[in-house]
Amino acid sequence: MPKTTLLIVDDDPEITELVKDHFEQHDYRVLTANNGKAMHQVLATTAQVDLIILDIMMPGQSGTELCQKLRIDSAVPILILSAMADESDRIIGLELGADDYLTKPFSSRELLARVRALLRRSQPQQQQPNFHTMGRVCFADWQLDRDQRCLIDSDDLATPLSASEYKLLSLFLAHPKRVLSRDQLMDHLHEKALDAFDRSIDVLVGRLRKKIEIDPKAPQLILTVRGGGYQFNTEVST
């Protein structure tokens, strides 16, 4: 069985080497790049990268710029590393498409736990109800292609979804018309031990709205329920 491949993008050689050694000890294949250009070269010459660990502060293109560009046509899980610990910095990282955000300094054990959680979330779920085994699920003017993990519009054009966006949309599609609390969404999307920050669910919902709503500022599909959470307000069929 091939090893899971990680790509570390960081201009600090000491951190890169420490993280690389730690993951290799746990049987991961680890590739490295010290800037955006090197990252794109690795992605262009590697058959599959399963997850990217991306530093924010780098010369040339920053990690946030690289994250935003990756999300245009890729759903690869992205974990951002940053010395900036403010909630606003974390929110920006999520809004640009990151799946998780870890501040420096960090423990190698926590980084490993977060990577494992992200990889689990990005893998197809087993032993789910029949709804989850269908190739495509229809709602509004969209189809969710479960094989390719992307959205298909009425013109048959595909929009990629990140691992977190895909899992959130799948949860909404499995429970149409039902109000889901933030705690329920957090339980489904995150490992509680990882202490996901307060607004992560709201930011993720905002990202999903930008992809499926005609007007994300006046959503008709994903409704906010005051004091309750969110409701997926449309019919779903397979």
Whether residue 141 is found in the same domain as residue 110: no
Whether residue 138 is found in the same domain as residue 187: yes
Instruction: Report the pLDDT value the prediction gives residue 191, as an integer from 0 to 100.
Output: 47
Instruction: Report the pLDDT value the prediction gives residue 75, as an integer from 0 to 100.
Output: 83
Whether residue 117 is found in the same domain as residue 139: no
Whether residue 66 is found in the same domain as residue 171: no
Whether residue 149 is found in the same domain as residue 194: yes
Residue-range definition of the domain harbouring residue 38: 5-122
pLDDT block averages, 10 residues each, the chain of length 238: 89 93 94 94 91 90 88 88 77 83 88 90 52 73 88 90 87 91 77 52 90 94 89 90
Instruction: Report the pLDDT value the prediction gives residue 125, as an integer from 0 to 100.
Output: 46
Boundary residue ending a domain (66, 92, 122): 122
Are the CB atoms for 191 and 113 separated by under 8 Å?
Answer: yes
Give me the sheet containing 222-225, strands edge to edge: 179-180, 229-232, 222-225
Whether residue 108 is found in the same domain as residue 146: no
How far, in Å, CA of 219 to CA of 210, rounded? 9
Whether residue 185 is found in the same domain as residue 135: yes
* Pick from 117, 120, 102, 92: nearest CA to 203: 92
Q: What is the CATH number of the domain that holds 24?
A: 3.40.50.2300
Whether residue 16 is found in the same domain as residue 58: yes
Whether residue 18 is found in the same domain as residue 103: yes
pTM: 0.65
Half-sphere exposure of 121 (CA within 13 A, CB side): 31
Whether residue 170 is found in the same domain as residue 143: yes
Boundary residue ending a domain (122, 142, 174): 122
Instruction: Report the pLDDT value the prediction gives residue 187, as an integer from 0 to 100.
Output: 74
Overall number of domains in the chain? 2
Boundary residue ending a domain (69, 90, 122): 122
For residue 62, give every residue at least 6 positions away whose Cβ sits within 8 Å of its Cβ, in sequence order, or none: 56
Q: What is the CATH number of the domain that holds 223?
A: 1.10.10.10
